[in-house]
Structure 1
Amino acid sequence: MKTNDEIRRQNLLGAIERYRTAAKLAEAVGTSAAYLSQIKNQTPESKTGKPKTMGDDLARRIEQALGEAHGWMDAEHEQLDLATVTSIFPDAVPVVAIDSDADYYYQIPLVKLRLQAGMQGVRTEPEYQSGGKKSVPRDWADREGLNPSRLVAIQVKGESMEPTLYEGDTIVINLADTKLVDNAIYAINYEGEAVVKRISRDAGQWWLMSDNADQRRFHRRACRSGECIVVGRVVRREGSRF
């Protein structure tokens, strides 16, 4: 039977994998990447010579960062190894994880939008609970002609854009593109509220449209100058729904 320290270390490995790097997990939980790596690698304590272990406070903070229940770090979680998976699915090909700090990705801010009515600029606040950063493929951004310094990522809230966008999806916004195009999706400062809507042109007027079929709950709204300010165009979506 594994000890509690061994279980926590195993779950730490899974947590790092979910955040892609120890540095990103460390930022989310408010500790140093070096300290997490010492626990991960069982670095001996200088005084006792015993491997470094994880305390209760850090365990709870990791659970919170992962969105897991209290005590999750102290329980074993069944994981299928590659041999088991390939025995069930002979044609399965393993996914190769590439360090998100490598040359394959740009790192862009994962943020919350902080807007005021009539405010033309964009004020943001880092989304630390989700790591504060988002990796986007360099080849995609370069192919689309996007400037990574003008990209931010936010998480979708609410049901108004289902089935195109679901709550919890991550979308990338190009702050450099504020020109309205019929049927495109934008982040909008609507009277001080950050909304993500499809823009439609009808009878000489721009309208904010929801993709949700329940138009009684999510009816269209006029996009008038001064009360409807374009933050940027949505250029990418990532989510777990398919």
Structure 2
Amino acid sequence: MQADLSFCIFIILLSNEIIAGMETKDIRRQNLRALINEHTLNNLSRAAFAEKVGITASQLSQVASPKFVRNIGDVLARRVESAFGLPAGWMDNIHTDADSKPGKTESANNYNLQNLSGNYTDHTYRLEQLDVEISCGGGRMNSDYPEVIQSIEIDPEYAKRMFGGRPASSLKITTAVGDSMKGSVEPGELVVLDVTVGRFVSDGIYAFTYGDTVHIKRLQRLKDRLIVISDNQTYEKWEISSDDESQLHIQGFVVGKWEMNYTRLG
């Protein structure tokens, strides 16, 4: 009996250690699969599930199947939460309480959320990737380019000085593509975004979507319009009028960059 009890305690401790070590991408996939299972039990097909989220059945398979080929990024995670009436951040957290089963969507108070950011703050400062490839040029959403750098872990004290005290949860990294911001942001560099900035607050460099395209550009307010500026003088300025600002969705404010350069020596 004592041996059985010791074994059970060992299994519980091991399970908790595994859960604590899970990355956000794995937690999101686990939660998405739980949602899919819950709704297929209620006679909602996977195709109908995908349609409700606003993606194709093929895209759902790419992120949720046992042989998944893509991770679930911020945009898709927030879409899922919105589609099924879940509180913001539900997809990013582990749910172990009975009240946190995905079928209970009546109220955000039904969810006992375990914020994973606490797993990192004592020992490291982790920046994860935004699921949008940002273009210093035309721009595209959810690119097929491989995600070479998915996260960066930094010493907390160094991060505090580097990012002015911003918490890791407010920052994301993404890769810049194109040369329109050459001089400030080079093609292929990792850009650090403060994703808590969701609107124009002052002149500076922003990551934003406009219509169907995604950009990193300098934005400057001039009376009732925004001037979109490329630091590479080859590119012309363009404007977003007050009438067109509904098409502008700011992904974040650019607070810095990482100059990434790998040289193979062997």
TM, length-normalised to structure 1: 0.46
TM, length-normalised to structure 2: 0.43
Name the structure, 1 or 2, with higher relative contact order (CA <8 Å, separation 6+): 1
Which structure has the highest helix share of the two?
A: 2
